[in-house]
Structures are given as structure tokens and as C-alpha cells.
Amino acid sequence: MKRLFLFLIIACVSAAAFAQPKTRKADARKKSSTQSAGMTLRAREMFPTAVEMPEDVVWRRDIYRELDLMQEANAPLYYPVEPQGKEMNLFTYLFKLALFGYIPVYEYRLDGSEQFNDSSRIDIKTILDNYHIFYEMKDGKPRVDNSDIPSAEVKLYYLKECAYFDESNSTFRRKTIALCPVMMRDDDFGGEPSKYPLFWVRYSDIASYLSRQTVSASSMNNAATMSMDDYFTLSRYEGKIYKTNNLLGRTLAQYCPTDDAMAKEQKKIEDELAAFQKNLYGDQAKKDSLDSIAKLDPKVMKSKKAKTSATKTKSTKVKKTKAPKSSSSGGSGAARVTVRRERH
């Protein structure tokens, strides 16, 4: 009876031990499915930046770019300057989302850094007062007419992006992290326009809204459109680098004294990113050399092999005809002495 009871206890313990790994696997599958809820496999493959960046990536580099909306590649974010029906430019869309409280906005610090926490959040009314944007209070909330939104003055954006290598699926990706609209206002004394960075917004807060707003995708085909989210996901923008996250925390302007030095440093960073992505799966030059050998004419390869084998055979025959050196001779060699153990 005792043996039977002991056997039952051992069986229960072993069953529980084997059941634990299955439970862990089920929990992991449930967690992964929750993270990618609402996204199909095709969507995850075609638009990889929609997936959250893993925290344990083996390589990443944060880059800050300045997008000039007067360039053709960035022009879809600027036009139309005033809303035309449901169509509006990026700043007007962000401004209305912030005005009605759909997205949080964060302070632009004097050192150019950004912090996305509750202490850095700013009220939209503060921005309206600081930059003298006309508004009216209705039901205790500020309201701004479309004609008073300074969308025509926002001609620049500061964009923070992250280039990283995802080891889980061996892919190199670029992800937009944050945006900052910059207002350009003419100087009162006729000088160059001054830059006024307004606020930072996290891209993860606005991505779902940007997917609903379309922009023109081509100057040649006006019927071609894409969503604003696709525009940033596919990295259709162009911008000069003005800062990277480095150990000294300095911008390019702080250690590049001249415009030429600035241009060289920007090109250097772009080349480093391109080289990392290009050589991620091996040196392409070596692959090309191997491919060129494989593409050679079989007859040429056969003749080369025949010549090589003939050369090897000839060298082998020459080696065999050489007489081996004598290891022993009468007077020249040292005398051999044999010592035998004597029996006593």
C-alpha cells in the first residue's frame, strides 16, 4: 500500500513538472499575439516600423534630421497650406489633434533634447500664448479658426529616427521616433527668418491618426496617394543630419566649425549607415568575385583544370626522378656505438 501511494505521488509531481513548460509556451504565445493584435502578417512584413522596436537590440543609432519642406521630397507634408475639405497638411493635422486633446505634446528644451514624461508635457494654450496665435475660448477650451493656424510658417521639421538591427529576424530597419514642427518667422528688421521649434510629439502617439490622412505620392501622377503613416514608414522624407546621440552629447554644429566640415561630417555618418546595412550579410565584393567565377564558361574552366592537373603531374615526375640522399657514408658520418646491457 505504501509503495502504491509513493508511486502516485511521484507520478503527480512528474506530470506537474512536464506541464510547466507547456504553460510557459502558451503564455509566451499569448503575449506575442497581444503585442501584434490588429496586425496581419502581411502588414507586419510590408510595414515593419509599425511593430514596436525590441528593447534588447544588438545595434542601434539615434539620428536627428532637419526636414526642409521646400524640397520636393518633403513637399507633401506642406501642401495644401490651408485645409481643402478633408485634405490638410501635417502641421494643421497635428495642431488640431493637440488642440482637441487627442495627442499629448511635449516641451522643446533649449538644448534640443526631448523627454516624453508627464513633467515635460505642455498645455496647448501655453503654445498659443507664447507664439501669439489668435484663439477664442468656447466652453472653457481654446478654439482656433483655420485661417489663424500658422501652417504656412511651419517650413521645417526636426525628426528623430532610429536605425537598428533586429537580431530576432536579422533585419535592418529605420523607425521614426518623434517629430517637432519648426515655425519660420521673418525678422522685424528684415534679416533672415528665425526658427521657433514649437513642441515634440511621439510618433507612436500619432501613427494611428496619420494612417487616416493621405498625401500626394508623385508630381507626375496626381492620382497616386499614400497615407502619412506610409510616408514615414517608407522613409520617403529627406533631411540633413544635425545631431546624433554621442558620448559628448554635442550637435554637429558644436564640433564642426565650418560649413564644409559640417557637410563632410554629415556625409561620413550617412556612409557609415549605408556601409553597415550593405555589409550586414557579408562583404558584397567577395560575393561578386565568387559569382563571377561561377559564371565562367564551362569549357574555359575545363581547360584551366586540365592545365593545372598537367602542371601538377609534371612536377610530381620531376620529384620522383631525383635520387634520395645517402644518409650514411664511410668517413663523413659519425660512428655508431651500440651499448648492450651485460648480464651479471
DSSP for 29-96?
Answer: HHHHHHHTTT--HHHHHH-GGGSPPPTT-SEEEEEEEEEETTSTTTGGGT--SS-BTTB--HHHHHHH
Q: Does 250 lie in the same domain as 130?
A: yes
Q: Is residue 162 part of a domain?
A: yes
- Which pLDDT value is given to residue 19? 46
- Which pLDDT value is given to residue 57? 82
Q: Is residue 317 part of a domain?
A: no
- Which pLDDT value is given to residue 15? 54
First to last CA, the chain: 78
Instruction: Give the residue ranges of the chain where pLDDT is below 70.
Output: 1-52, 283-344
Q: Is 252 helix (H, G, I), strand (E, B) or coil?
A: helix
Parallel/antiparallel/unpaired status of strands 171-185 and 154-166? antiparallel
Q: Does 262 lie in the same domain as 244?
A: no
> Which range marks the domain in which residue 77 is found?
42-255
Q: Is residue 238 part of a domain?
A: yes
Q: Is residue 342 part of a domain?
A: no
Q: Is residue 321 part of a domain?
A: no
Q: Is 263 helix (H, G, I), strand (E, B) or coil?
A: helix
Q: Does 113 lie in the same domain as 169?
A: yes
191: region left, alpha or beta (phi > 0 left; psi from -120 to 50 alpha) = beta
Q: Does 241 lie in the same domain as 225?
A: yes
Q: Find the angle CA(101)-CA(107)-CA(110) to the nearest 5 degrees.
A: 165
Q: What is the pLDDT of residues 285-320, one digit of tens each?
A: 666 665 666 665 565 566 656 666 656 565 555 555
Cα separations (Å) of 136 from 97, 105, 125, 131, 148?
17, 20, 11, 15, 11
Number of domains in the chain: 2
Q: Which residues of 25-41 are buried (b: 16+ CB within 10 A; e: fewer)?
A: eeeeeeeeeeeeeeeee
Q: Is residue 79 part of a domain?
A: yes
Q: Does 113 lie in the same domain as 50?
A: yes
Contact present, 143 and 38 (Cβ < 8 Å): no
Q: Does 271 lie in the same domain as 153?
A: no
Q: Does 273 lie in the same domain as 129?
A: no
Q: Does 262 lie in the same domain as 250?
A: no
Cell 496619420 identifies what position?
210
- Which pLDDT value is given to residue 153? 95
Q: For residue 121, give the nearest of 88, 93, 98 by alpha carbon.
A: 98
Q: Does 283 lie in the same domain as 236?
A: no
Which residues lie closer than 8 Å to 218 by C-beta, 6 or more apart?
Answer: 224
Q: Which residues of 60-93 are buried (b: 16+ CB within 10 A; e: fewer)?
A: ebebbbbbbbeeeebebbbeeeebeeebbbbbbb
Cα separations (Å) of 107 from 91, 111, 201, 205?
16, 11, 9, 15
* DSSP character at residue 154: E
Q: Is 17 helix (H, G, I), strand (E, B) or coil?
A: helix
Q: Is residue 137 part of a domain?
A: yes
Question: Of 202, 229, 255, which closes a domain?
Answer: 255
Q: Is residue 26 part of a domain?
A: no
Q: Does 130 lie in the same domain as 77?
A: yes
Q: Find the angle CA(171)-CA(115)-CA(163) to the nearest 5 degrees.
A: 15
- Which pLDDT value is given to residue 169? 78
- Which pLDDT value is given to residue 86? 85
Contact present, 131 and 270 (Cβ < 8 Å): no
Q: Does 277 lie in the same domain as 155?
A: no
Q: Does 166 lie in the same domain as 87?
A: yes
